[in-house]
Chains A and B, each alone.
Chain A
Amino acid sequence: MNWSDAAAYALPFLGALVFCASIGGAVYGGYAAVQDDLGLCGVPAIAVTPPEDIDHNAPEGTVDPSWTQLDYEELNEAEKEAFEEAVGSVSGTGDVHGELEHEAAFSGGALVAYEGEEYYVAIETMDECASAAPWVLPAGVLGVLVGLGLFYSPRLARMLAHRSDR
C-alpha cells in the first residue's frame, strides 16, 4: 500500500473520529444555547399516587416516617394546579408552572391531604436546563467542520488534481 492509498483510508478515518468526537459539543452546546428560549426546560413535574395505590408501597395502616405530611391548602398556586392536573390525568403527573415551594418535601416523598384522602406526591422531574461553557459550542462546530473536511479530503484532492490536469 503506497502513501496515496494509506491517506485515502487514514484521513477519512481520522476525520470520522474528529467529527464524532465533536458532535457532543456541537449538539449539547447548541441545545444549551436555545433550550431555555424555546421553553424546553425549567418546568418541574410532580407525580401523584392516588390513595388506593399507596398500599403498594407501604403496608396498610402504616406510613413511612420519612414522608412529610402536608395539607392541600399549604401548597402554592402553581403546586395546586399541578396537583389537580395530576389527579385528573391518566399518567398521574402534572407540570409546575411556577415556584416549586415544597421541593425538599416532594424530593423525599410527601403525603398531601386532599378532600379527605391522602395522596402520595413526589417529584417526577426537575427538568433542569442544560448549561455549557461558552467555548463548547464553537469548539464542537469547529471540530465537526474539521472532521468533515478531513473525511472528504481524498475526494477533494482528487477533484482538485482532476481540475489542474484539465
Chain B
Amino acid sequence: MSVVPYAFVACLVVGVVLRARYGSFRNLSRTILADGGHVRGDETEEREKKANLLRWVTTVDHKDIGLLYLVFGTVAALWGGVDSMMIRTELLTPAVDVWSEETYNALFTTHGLTMLFFFVTPVFFGMANYFLPLLIGADDLAFPRINAIAFWLLPPSLLLVRGGLITEVIARVLGLGLPRSMLEILYTLAPPATGWTLYTPLSTQLANPQIDFMLLGLHLSGLSTMMGAINFIVTIFMKRGPDVDIGDFDIFTWSMLTTSGIILFAFPLLGSAILMLLLDRNFGTSFYAVEAGGSILYQNLFWFFGHPEVYIIFLPATGLMSTILPKFSGRKLFGFKFVVYSTLAIGVMSFGVWAHHMFTTGMDPRLLTSFMIVSIAIAVPSAIKVFNWMTTMWKGDIRLTAPMLFSAGGLGLFVIGGITGVFLASIPIDVMYQDTYYVVGHFHMILMAIIPFQMFAASYYWFPIITERMYNQRLARLQAVLTSVGVFVTFMAFLIMGALGMPRRFASYPPKFQLFHDVASVGAFVIGFSVLLWLYNMLHSLWFGDLVRDADVWDLKKTQQFTREWQAFEARLAEKYGVTSTSPEETRAAAESQMVGDQKDEPDTGSPKAFEDLSGIGNDVVVGAVAGFVGMMLMSAVLYVGSLLGVFDLVSFAELAELVGVEGSPLVGYLIFLGGGMTTWALLFVTFADFLPGEPLLRTGLVFAVVMLPGFFVAFYSGQSGWELVGYILVAFVAHLAYGAGLATTFKMLSGRLKTSLVHVSE
C-alpha cells in the first residue's frame, strides 16, 4: 500500500504539467454564459506563461506558489491518509496480524506528523497565498522570494521526516536481488515510532537515527512556517490596497493575521524543544535527563507550542467557514465584529491552556485548576462563532451547493466534537479519559469537521477562479454527504469506545471492542473513498469541466457579496476574453434575507437584528414560561393520577433533586421538574415550533411533547414491569399530550396579546 502515495504524486505531477503544458481541452467542453446557455469553441487562448519545469521551480508569483502549496498539501494529505487507512486495516481484528506492532507505532506517528505539519498548514498557506493578496488589494506578498524559499523548504523537510519509510521500501525492493548485508545502511533508518508528540524519555532513548532526521525535518518545516507567517503579517499591514483599511478586512484575512501571530510565538518553542532533544540525543547534553528538567520540561515546552498549534490549524478554517457560509445563505455574516473578536480572543487564550494536556502528570492542583478554567473558557469564543454561523443561516436563502453542504455538515459535527472537548477540560473527567479513544474521537471529530471540510468547501467555492472551469456539482454534493456520514460514524465509534475504556495507541485490543473498531474502520474507508471522489472531481474537472466565462458563478451580485477575489476574476475574464461584466437588475443588501410570501418585497424585513428583535425574544420568554406552567400543571395532574393507580412512582423525582445535591427530596425534584417545563422545554418549543410538523399550533405542541417522551420515559422509569409498565407508558404518554396541549394552546392565546416572534402564530 505504500506505493499508493507515489502513484498519487505521479498523477498529480503529470496532471499539473499537462494542464500547464497544453492548457485546457476547451474543444471538448462548453462555455457557460450568463444567460445559462452554452457555446462550443476555442475562440480564446488562455495560456499566458511559459509552462515548463523551470518556471515552476523558480516562480515567485503568489498564485503559482499558492498552487504549489496546494499540490504539496494534497500529496501530504494523501500520504497521511494512507497511513490512517493502514491503521484502520490493522484494527479490523483484535490480534496484530496485518502489520507488526512496530509498524503500527510508526503509522500513528507519521500520520500525526504528516497531517499536522505537512497537510493542514501548507494547504491553508496555499489558499492564503492565492487569495489573501486578492482580498486586500495587494499585487503580491511583501517578500515574494522569501515566499518561494518558504515553500521549497517543505519538500525536503517532508522527506527528512518520512525518509525512513522510503529507505525501507528501497531496501525491500533491492533486497529481491541483493543480500541483506549490503543493504544494512538502508535498514538502519526506520520510520519513527515515538508518537507525534515525541515524548521523552522514549524519544531520547530510541537509537533509530531516523528520529534525528525527523527532528531536523520538523525544524526546517518550522522555519518555513515562520517565514510564511511573517510574510502574511507584513503583506496585510504594508501591502494592502490604498482603499483597504483595517476595518475593511474580510474575515479570512483576520483569521490568517491571527494565525500568523500565533505562529510567531508558538513555533520558536517547538524549535527550542526539539533542538534540545537533538542535543540530548547526539551531544550528551541533559536537558531532559531525570536529574535536570526531565520529561515534564519537555512536555511543558512541547505543549506551549502544541496547543496553539491546534488553533493555528483551526482558525484559517473558521475564516473560510465565515467566508463561504454567508454566500450560500443569501446574507452577510451575522455578528461580523464578534466573530473577529472571538478570533483574536482565541489567539490570546490559546497560550493559556497548554497544561490541560498534562492533567495526569502530577502538577500542582492549584496550577491545574487555572488551566482547567481557561480551557473551559476558550470554548466561549468558539461558541460565539458557532452561534453566529447558525444565525447567518437562520431563515436564510439556503442553497445546497457542495460548499454549503460541507459548511453545514461541518458545523453540526464541529458542535459534537467541541462539546466532547469541554468535558475533557474538566480535570476529573480528563483523568478518567486520559489516553483513551475518547480523546482521539474528540480531536478527530472537531478537526475533521472544520479543517478538511472547509478545505473541500473552499476548493469547490474557488475552483472556477483557479481553473476557469466548473466542477461536477452532483458528484461534489454526493461527496459532501458521504464525508459527513463517514466522519460521524468513525469518530462516534471512537467516542463510545473511549467512554468504555479502550486505550489509544495499541495495535491489539480486547475482542469486546471489535464491533466498534470495525464500524470505525468502515467509516474511515467511507472518508477515504470520498477523498478519492474529490480528487477525481478536481482532476477531471481541471481538464473537462465546463468553461466559466461569467464570473458570477454563485449569483453573489444579487446579494451584494461579489467580493474582491471574484471582482479580480471578472476583470481577468474581461481582459482575456473580452467578456463584459453582467449585473442583475435588482440587488439587495446581503444583510437582508430572502423572505417568502408577503414579506418578500418589504425592505425592512430580513436578517435578524439582535437589538430590534429583543422585545420579541423577551415576549417569547414570558409567554413560553406561562404556557409551560399551564402545561406542567396538566401534566402533573396526569402523573398524580398515575401515582394513585400505582404505575408512576413520585419518589423518582428525588433523583432529580440529587442533581443539585439534595438527597431524597421528591419535592425539590418536582420543583426542578416544574422549572424545566417552564423554561428549557417551553423555550425549546417556542424556538423550534416553526420547524416542527403540524398545523395548527395545537398539533405542533402535541408533536413536540411526543418527541420529548422517550427521554422522560427513561429518566423516570423506576423498575415497573408487566401491566405496571404498560400503565407507566400510557400515563407518560397522556401526561405529555396534556403538557403539549396546555403549552401550545396557552401560547397561542397569549401570543394574540403579546407580540412574539413565532411565525406559526403570526400567520
Spell out A's residues near B (CB within 8 Å).
8-9, 12-13, 16-17, 19-21, 23-24, 27-28, 31-32, 41, 45, 53, 56, 89-93, 124-131
Contact = CB atoms under 8 A, between A and B. Distances in A.
Given A16-B482, A53-B205, A125 B522 contact: no
B208 A90 contact: yes
A58 to B, nearest CB: 13
Interface residues of B, number: 34
A24 B526 contact: no
A90 B189 CA distance: 9
Interface string B199-226: 0010001011100000000000000000
Contacts of A131: 97
17 contacts: A9-B474, A9-B477, A13-B482, A16-B530, A17-B526, A20-B528, A24-B89, A28-B92, A41-B97, A45-B100, A45-B102, A56-B205, A90-B188, A91-B187, A124-B100, A130-B93, A130-B98
B92 A24 contact: yes
A130 B97 contact: yes
A127 B96 CA distance: 7
B521 interface: yes
B98 A24 contact: no
B537 to A, nearest CB: 13
Nearest to A49: B205
B478 interface: yes
Main secondary structure of the interface of B (DSSP, over half): helix
Interface in B494-531: 518, 521-522, 525-526, 528-530
A125 B102 contact: yes
Given A17-B526, A127-B100, A131-B97, 8 more contacts: A9-B474, A12-B478, A13-B482, A19-B529, A24-B522, A89-B184, A91-B187, A128-B96
B190 interface: yes
A93 B207 CA distance: 11
A9 B478 contact: yes
A20 B529 contact: yes
A28 B478 contact: no
B13 interface: no
A2 to B, nearest CB: 14
A126 B96 contact: yes
B552 to A, nearest CB: 25
Contact of B201 (A56, A90, A93): A56
Nearest to B201: A56
Contacts of B474: 8-9
B348 interface: no
Contacts of A20: 486, 522, 525-526, 528-529
B101 interface: yes
B95 interface: yes
B98 A31 contact: yes
A27 B89 contact: yes
Nearest to A32: B97
A7 B201 CA distance: 57
Interface in B59-104: 89, 92-93, 95-98, 100-102
Interface string B163-201: 000000000000000000000100110100000000001
Contacts of B208: 90-91
Given A20-B522, A21-B522, A90 B209 contact: yes
B481 interface: yes
Contact of A91 (B188, B477, B481): B188
Most chain B beta carbons < 10 A, residue from A21, A23, A32, A131: A23
Contacts of A31: 98
A24 B518 contact: yes
B206 to A, nearest CB: 9
5 shortest A-B CB distances, which residue pairs?
A: A20-B525, A130-B97, A125-B100, A20-B526, A128-B97
